[in-house]
Amino acid sequence: LSYVSGTPNPTSVVGNVVTWNLGSIFTLGLKTAHLTLQVPADVGLIGTDLAANALVSISQAEPDLSNNSFNTITTVTASFDPNDKQAFTESNNDGSYFIDEDEWIDYTIRFQNTGTDTAFFVVITDTLPNTVDPASFVTGAASHNYTMDLSGQGILRFTFPNILLPDSNVNELASHGFVTFRIKAMEPVLPGTMIENIANIYFDYNEPVITEPSVLVTDFSTRIRDLDTGSRMVLAPNPTSGLVWVQLDATVDRNGSLRVLAMDGRLLLDERMTGQRTLLDLTELGPGAYLLEWTGNEGARLVMPIIRD
């Protein structure tokens, strides 16, 4: 594997070790580091196991180090068929279209002449499913000059005239071609919708090569979005003898859930919140420090410490 990028920028990249210094983190807080690596384009690697280890440490002493590392093994997979259709979204989640994150679907149709002679022309047809909007269709890059036609109920036709595509036995590198386009999902996009599509690839007058289906399943993202807690949620009084007012900023979604957690993560209280201000009763809790967590219906989260005196 070779290093491509990291988010946020790593503190160091030395050999096969990538290191981040993520700064301070509050109780029940969340920090994320994203790493992109490149797998060589070598079919001989198919079936290879890629082992990775993630290790986290903090400056303070910890009583339990058993949950500070995670090992994962990913097996390299690929298709031997050089003719395929791939779908990509802005969130780059394989097989998923996130309704609250994605707008465009980018398709790439790849083809290769694996015959025994030059292909003089190539035609690709693609009947778009009713889960995408033909009116939003936008052409993209291609390996060779082509003409495009969109007709009927979303019937795409890409024609590569006089492409003179050599067969892979004569010139493997030049035997490949591709075409790309982008399109939007048909509104309204409902969770659980399957966006499935295939392409038919004609080399000269031969029978078409039909690609495996490219499949996207729509859903909502489960990513948690942390907000600036101090300016978004106010607790009064804090410390409290039992009753405490919880008030949310006007910019925060009013609908969500309130949970009171012990410092070891145990759930002690859980109730719904449907307005900007609510009264929380903590009289049954003993004196001590707790965490008040608000989670909105759209995944945003606020966490603040609260003292029961």
**Whole-angstrom distance, CA of residue 215 vs CA of residue 160:** 26
- Non-local CB neighbours of 10 within 8 Å, separated by 6+ positions: 18, 19, 20, 33
Q: How far is CA 80 from the centre of its chain?
A: 25
Q: How far is CA 160 from the centre of its chain?
A: 34
**What backbone phi and psi angles, to 5 degrees, belong to 246?**
-115, 120
Give, in order, the Cα–Cα distances in Å from 196 to each of 97, 213, 283: 12, 6, 55
Closest CA to 210 of 223, 199, 226: 199
pLDDT score for 221: 64
pLDDT score for 230: 47
Q: Is the distance from CB of 98 to CB of 219 less than 8 angstroms?
A: yes
pLDDT score for 139: 92
pLDDT score for 254: 66
pLDDT score for 150: 93
pLDDT score for 66: 82
**pTM to 2 decimals?**
0.51
pLDDT score for 162: 93
**Whole-angstrom distance, CA of residue 58 vs CA of residue 132:** 48
10-residue mean pLDDT profile of the chain (309 residues): values are 90 93 82 85 74 89 84 69 83 76 90 90 95 93 93 92 92 91 90 90 92 87 48 79 83 77 80 83 87 77 82
Counting Cα atoms < 13 Å in the Cβ hemisphere of 123 gives: 11
pLDDT score for 253: 65
pLDDT score for 93: 62
pLDDT score for 228: 45
180 token code pair: 């790309």
What is the 3-state secondary structure of the chain?
CEEEEEECCCCEEECCEEECCCCCCCCCCCCCCEEEEECCCCHHHCCCEEEEEEECCCCCCCCCCCCCEEEEEEECCCCCCCCEEEEEECCCCCCEEECCCCCEEEEEEEEECCCCCCECCEEEEEECCCCEEEEEEEEEEECCCCEEEEECCCEEEEEECCCCECCCCCCCHHHEEEEEEEEEECCCCCCCCEEEECCEEEECCCCCEECCCEEEEEECCCCCEECCHHHHEEEECCCECCEEEEEECCCCCCCEEEEEECCCCCEEEEEEECCCEEEEECCCCCCEEEEEEEEECCCEEEEEEEEEC
Counting Cα atoms < 13 Å in the Cβ hemisphere of 269 gives: 17
The three-point CA angle 171-175-177 to 5° equals: 155
